[in-house]
Amino acid sequence: MHLFDEHWRNVTRRTFLRRSGLGFGAIALQSLLAGAVPAPGASSHAVRPPHFAPRAKRVIYLHMVGAPSQLDLFDHKPALAKHDGKPCPDEFIRGKRFAFLRGHPTIAASRYQFQRHGKSGAEISELLPNLARVADELAIVKSVHTDEFNHAPAQLFLHTGFGRLGRPSFGSWVTYGLGSENQDLPAYVVLLSGPLAGAGTSLWSTGFLPSVHQGVQFRSSGEPVLFLNNPDGHSAADRRRVLDTVQRLNQAQLADVGDPEIATRISQYEMAFRMQTSVPELMDIAREPKAVLEQYGAQPGKASFANNCLLARRLIERGVRMVQLYDADWDHHGDLAGRLPRKCQDVDQGMAALVRDLQQRGLLDDTLVIWGGEFGRTPMAQVDSGAGVATKPGRDHHKDAFTMWLAGGGVKAGQTFGSTDELGYHIAERPVHVHDLNATILHLLGLDHERLTYRYQGRDFRLTDVHGKVITGLLA
């Protein structure tokens, strides 16, 4: 008895409860499991059932950072030519806020030819000849509108449903709702071509959701994922020993305090170890047949949008739920005639090849592809840099009407949805607010945007805030 008494005299109350299997952390953890927090040793990315039968299982989101000019790519307005160089109607500027336009700007016609393509007769600019060949796979939405007219807030609004920092990204909501079909890769992957968008990494942030739903940036050249490789002089066995030790410490801490972020850390360390094998194989596009590389215009070892389109297909083939591609330099306030054709040449072949490749492999039916920017461009010319310096004409930001397109994943293909007035300034038919767009995308994934919520600081949050409706006309 003496030895027994001496032993328990030196054991703390917390240690006693933990060793007895009654640790408050374990109890707290169990109470959190309904909120998608994994039990110790369980997968943080386990597949979760949707609210109803989905039409799409995964998403590839192509975001053109800076906002392409819809009037020069998709929204053909012959009336602009009749009014080219004339002062814009007073109603266009009365009481309106613009990023850079001042005074009374003039109307600017598009200098590019449009033609109808496919059985759908979609009007597409000569700047996108490859995309025009897959016109019948697209639903071109010409009536999108947003609440924000500057880049970073509008990017956040599109991808998080809110124009300021702190909310979860679209991809985080999707993986929170559905989980992942691959335990060796992140559920949510981001690929960049060019510099970061104005809103930066907040566009794939997990916000207040569990951090396991954070987007992970991959790189198409150099080291695919930073800090994933073993340091020089250290083997995989060395990494395994360190990881096992760290995991034991994390498990003890998890049992002690029940913080769900510790469970995430355990899961992510293990995934990182597995990614040392899965990622190099994934990123090696040189393994693709020559014909596929030529179809995309991809070049192994080069950082490019074309490479990223091919990588997106390889990622979703391996069960990655959400892939976002960000392509920079679409902010054409000046020299639209010189810069827009170059940017279209950067993306046209790759994105068209992606749609066609998915279709040929039987993946387009349940993969949703989305293309667009954070807002559109004005039908009025901008002829200064915003600092009073004359430039070659460009177009300013326009939040009230712009174009996006969707393909696959249960979308009604071969249609043009919505329209704008004769000058492309106001929406004339079937408006689609950003919240409506997000509600529709979630619906295609089998998720009810009103039920996909997370309680934080005393209220239930969702991607669409308290707005949004499913646009049934976009559904097949």
0.95 exceeded by the pTM? no
Query: Residue 199 in contact with residue 334, Cβ under 8 Å?
Result: no
Name the residue among 392, 334, 394 with its Cα closest to residue 110: 394
Q: Estimate the crossing angle of helix 236-257 against helix 260-283, to 10 degrees.
A: 160
Residue 62 burial (CB < 10 Å; 0-12/13-18/19+)? buried
How distant, in Å, are the alpha carbons of 15, 40, 108, 253, 277 from that of 265?
23, 11, 54, 11, 19
Q: Which two tokens stand for residue 342?
A: 């170059």
What is the per-residue pLDDT for 44? Answer: 56
What b/e readout covers 459-471, taking b as 16+ CB neighbours within 10 angstroms? eebbbbeeebebb
SS3 383: strand
Task: Enumerate domains of the chain plus CATH numbers.
Answer: 53-229+289-474 (3.40.720.10)
Residue 248 burial (CB < 10 Å; 0-12/13-18/19+)? exposed
**Helix (H) / strand (E) containing 190:** strand 188-193
Query: Residue 407 in contact with residue 351, Cβ under 8 Å?
Result: no
What is the per-residue pLDDT for 219? Answer: 81
pLDDT in tens, 422-460: 999 999 999 999 999 999 999 999 999 999 999 999 999
pLDDT in tens, 369-416: 999 999 999 999 999 888 778 789 999 999 999 999 999 999 999 999
